[in-house]
Amino acid sequence: MAKQVGFIGLGRMGEPMALRLVAAGYELVVHDARPEGVAALTAKGARAAGSPAEVAAAVDTVLLSLPTPPIVRDIAAKVGTGKVKTVIDLSTTGATAAREIAAALAAKGITAVDSPVSGGVAGAVAGTLAVMVAGPRALCKDLEPMLAVFGKVFFIGERPGMGQTMKLANNLLSATAMAATSEAIVFGVKSGLDPAVMCDVINAGSGRNTASMDKVPRQVITRKFSQGFATGLMYKDVRLCLEEAEASGVPMPVSTAVRAMWARANDELGGDSDMTAIIQLLERGAGVVVKGK
């Protein structure tokens, strides 16, 4: 019989990750605040639970994929009952929250594994995510076959929060690439350049980055704006990174400017907008639209 595990949080990232576990032969007990998320999993054979506590009563391992630190804290407290022995957090919470959650769970005899992921919705669907794991080495080794269903597993360290630090550093670079590339492309278009040609040249040269290689050609020039990661979540990740850096005594002047840009995008475009829509702020200011010819 396949191992039974719990999965809470079936949103843009959680649903495809949970579906991959089902496809890999795991028996899932799932819960989400949205009925449609649960329905997608039960249609594939997962069992629905009416609450986080009901998940905790059924399994000894629970995975969380949730949008914000307060929600992770709340759900982690609710699954800290029943037969659960291990809670794997796939969310992005920041190291401070991860350490606090781990301590609260440890007081109940539960081990927390800090395991954020990167690679977007497409990576979650394809199973090509970067999985950053922090926790007891032996336990992480035991969990690796399951986590490898999501993508490539990297053991970051044994201390709670180390995976979160790695994830925030990664997302800071992703956010910076999108903001800076948007500025460069809008500048070029305003000067009469073809944005597609710009991307081709940048990607053949030293300016190549994730935005120039993927986001601008696929989402901006086509005007789809459907990368699948929300502006509000990107702003949250950048804000968390700078808060953690400040607490650690690390100055980040460039990242401070990036945070201001994402704060403006969050305010003007809305937190639910696609993160690639940040270029629209620059388009409005320059009086141009970045699109294919």
Tokens of 241: 């990174």
Q: Per residue, what are the HEC states of 165-229?
A: HHHHHHHHHHHHHHHHHHHHHHHHHHCCCCHHHHHHHHHHCCCCCHHHHHHHHHHHCCCCCCCCC
Query: Which residue reads 């696929």 in tokens?
Result: 218
Residues 84, 59 contacting (CB under 8 angstroms)? yes
Beta-bridged to residue 28, according to DSSP, are: 5
Give the Cα separation of 114 and 101 in Å (integer). 10
Distances (CA, A) of 272 to 34, 113, 231, 276: 16, 29, 6, 12
Residues 46, 29 contacting (CB under 8 angstroms)? yes
Give the Cα separation of 74 and 87 in Å (integer). 13
Given the residues 78, 83, 167, 291, select the one marked as catalytic.
167
Beta-bridged to residue 113, according to DSSP, are: 88
167 catalytic, yes or no? Answer: yes
Residues with catalytic function = 167
